[in-house]
Amino acid sequence: MKRYLILADGSIFEGEGFGAPTTTTGEIVFNTGMSGYQETITDQSYNGEIIAFTYPLIGNYGINRDDYESIAPTCKGVVVHEAARLASNWRNQLSLDEFLKQKKIPGITGIDTRRLTKRLRTEGTMKASIVDTADEHAFDQLNALVLPKNQVQQVSTTKPFPSPATGKNVVVIDFGLKHSVLRELSKRQCNLTVMPYNTTAEEIIQLAPDGVLLSNGPGDPKDVPEALEMIRGIQGKIPLFGICLGHQLFALANGADTYKMKFGHRGFNHPVREIATGRIDFTSQNHGYAVDVHSINKDNLLVTHIEINDGTVEGLRHRQYPAFSVQFHPDATPGPHDADHLFDEFMEMMDAFAKRSRENA
């Protein structure tokens, strides 16, 4: 079945449909990962976005039960050069085509993804549609689309829920949480309570946690003003660790600014330098916004990591409080595990804070 990908700049790409037999509209972005398509599609940081994979063959090892980052993915569509007709892997349970049909996500294959990626790198991310007919009406609908501002609200849990264990008590604020974050904390025996995005500082303090993790999530951090007051209310009182969107919100809460990038960082090969040591980690990233380095109040925040390719801010640490954040995903599924030591640093920060609290009691 013929299907078309149309872009807001007037570009048209003809291909074949797979996945759900429906049309869709959203912001199109590209991901440079060579594998990990299941984790990518189920990452709720892609809420409302059409994902174009630059790797030419997608779906060759199928879909399995272990690699979900969320149960109900919220991306709008999938664009590939070639969708594998057969999947070969001992964990395979169903094909990518079957999975997309189940989740009601349309796809298009046979696209020149190299040409598409060059277009997005030149013009920036933009609105796009996957349609059955690339006519004037389709472009009118695309141009009339208003991208939503409540993306975090769409994907965050509405009620708290636990993930019990016997170790440190950690509150996780869900802005679009990846399951791999929970896996990393669970590996360290953390007793977790996952809370909605609009949880207040008072509600967190009442739980008396050993630490708070601000999760990843979709969209513009400035669309989540509720989180800023919460962060200001707990930093200094409870150790804090922010990841991706959580990093941007941590920066905003401490007086810095953020901006929309031309095409963002989405992939698993982004080199990041830790400034203090010179250590370079290859990291998993998925974000379209970044912290403006010139807006950072150096009396409050210290830049700890930078992206080697473009110099963007990749890590921050508070100068007075036990709080730090990173733009990349140290949980890294998919992707390299170079930076998973940051979860251990979070554990050590909580231990050090508890020790000081006992000594000062």
In the predicted model, what is the mean pLDDT of residues 313-319?
A: 98
> Which of 67, 66, 9, 58 lies closest to 31, judged by CA?
58
Place of tokens 């916004």: 289
Give yes or no for a contact between 173 and 197, defined as CB atoms under 8 angstroms apart: yes
DSSP 15: E
pLDDT tens profile 60-102: 999 999 999 999 999 999 999 999 999 999 999 999 999 999 9
pLDDT tens profile 22-63: 999 999 999 999 999 999 999 999 999 999 999 999 999 999
Q: Which of 244, 247, 270, 287 is catalytic?
A: 244
Distance of CA 343 to the CA centre of its chain: 17
- The DSSP string of 172-209 is EE-SS--HHHHHHHHHTT-EEEEE-TT--HHHHHHT--
CB-based burial, 333-358: b 16+ in 10 Å, e otherwise: bbbeebbbebbeebbebbeebeeeee
Which residues, other chains included, contact 283 with Cβ-Cβ below 8 Å and sequence gap of 6+?
Answer: 268, 270, 271, 272, 314, 328, 329, 330, 332, 335, 336, 338, 339
Burial of 233 (0-12, 13-18, 19+ CB in 10 A): middle
Examine the residue annotation and report whether 265 is marked as an active-site residue of this protein.
no
DSSP 87: -
Q: Is this prediction's pTM over 0.95?
A: yes
> Which of 46, 9, 39 lies closest to 129, judged by CA?
9
In the predicted model, what is the mean pLDDT of residues 316-331?
A: 97
List the binding residues.
45, 217, 219, 245, 248, 286, 288-289
Query: What is the distance between the alpha carbons of residues 313 and 307, in angstroms, rounded to a whole number?
Result: 7
Q: Is the pLDDT of residue 361 over 80?
A: no
Query: What is the distance between the alpha carbons of residues 322 and 238, in angstroms, rounded to a whole number?
Result: 8
Query: What is the band of 335 on the pLDDT scale with cuts at 50, 70, 90?
Result: confident
Question: How many residues comprise the chain?
Answer: 361
| C-alpha to C-alpha distances, 329 to 20, 24, 71, 97, 179, nearest whole angstrom | 30, 28, 19, 27, 12
Q: Which of 210, 281, 329, 338 is catalytic?
A: 329
Distance of CA 205 to the CA centre of its chain: 26
Q: Which domains does the chain have, with CATH numbers?
A: 2-144 (3.50.30.20), 151-360 (3.40.50.880)
Give yes or no for a contact between 193 and 208, defined as CB atoms under 8 angstroms apart: no
Positions of E strands within the chain = 2-7, 12-19, 24-31, 49-53, 57-58, 77-79, 82-83, 106-109, 126-131, 161-163, 169-173, 191-195, 211-214, 240-243, 258-274, 280-291, 301-307, 313-318, 323-326
Number of H helices, E strands in the chain: 10, 19
DSSP 215: -
Dihedrals phi, psi of 246, to nearest 5 degrees? -60, -35
Give yes or no for a contact between 336 and 301, defined as CB atoms under 8 angstroms apart: no
> Which of 181, 178, 201, 202 lies closest to 192, judged by CA?
181
Give yes or no for a contact between 348 and 322, defined as CB atoms under 8 angstroms apart: no
Give yes or no for a contact between 180 and 244, defined as CB atoms under 8 angstroms apart: no
Examine the residue annotation and report whether 305 is marked as an active-site residue of this protein.
no
Give yes or no for a contact between 188 and 211, defined as CB atoms under 8 angstroms apart: no
List the binding residues for L-glutamine.
45, 217, 219, 245, 248, 286, 288-289
pLDDT tens profile 124-161: 999 999 999 999 999 999 999 999 999 999 999 999 99
Q: Is the pLDDT of residue 360 over 90?
A: no
For the chain, give the percent of residues with pLDDT over 70. Answer: 100
Query: What is the distance between the alpha carbons of residues 297 and 125, in angstroms, rounded to a whole number?
Result: 30
DSSP 229: H
In the predicted model, what is the mean pLDDT of residues 272-280?
A: 97
Query: What residues form DSSP beta bridges with 106?
Result: 19
Which residues, other chains included, contact 156 with Cβ-Cβ below 8 Å and sequence gap of 6+?
Answer: 174, 175, 176, 177, 196, 197, 198, 217
Examine the residue annotation and report whether 270 is marked as an active-site residue of this protein.
no
